[in-house]
Amino acid sequence: MLKRMGCIALFCCAFVACTEDIKPAKAGEPLPAIVGVDENGAQHALSLYKDKSGVVIFFFPKAFTGGCVCENAGFRDYIGKYSDKGYTIVGISRDIPETLVKFKQIYRLNYTMLSDPDDKLAKSLGVNGGKRDTVVVGKDGLVIKIYHDVDAPTHHKSLIGNL
């Protein structure tokens, strides 16, 4: 029994040490140097947008669900307006790349999607991957604002007015 408790204590300490290394992004700070896997299984560094465009990184819980379809379609339909303001859209969910590629094809989504099944990207950006959160990053690579628990049907419209 003591041996098992010692293993549990060791695991807990190791988990805390790992999570302490993650310093979540905050407004006014540089976007952390993070790389995700896109819908095609390729590595995708969020730093590639620095000095090229701002980036709107929105997190959605699960592809093919009502709110997520609505939210993604909104960003799809407004992508030109975001582009006109100098922003690129990136969607992130816990779904695996194979699911995201199907989701993107069926709903004709016209932006990069990243897979974050273990919430590493979400944690490094200071959000909860299971929630509807958005991180706005300026062209200079600094986090402008983090929005938590956004409204799926209206977020793409209200956000564009704040950029």
Q: Is 12 a catalytic residue?
A: no
CA-CA distances (angstroms) from residue 40 to 16, 112, 137?
Answer: 32, 9, 24
Name the residue with tokens 């960003």.
Answer: 75
Rounded CA separation 104/110 (Å): 8
CB 7 within 8 A of CB 14: no
Catalytic residue from among 7, 13, 68, 70: 68
Structure tokens at 2: 């003591």
Q: Which residues are catalytic?
A: 68
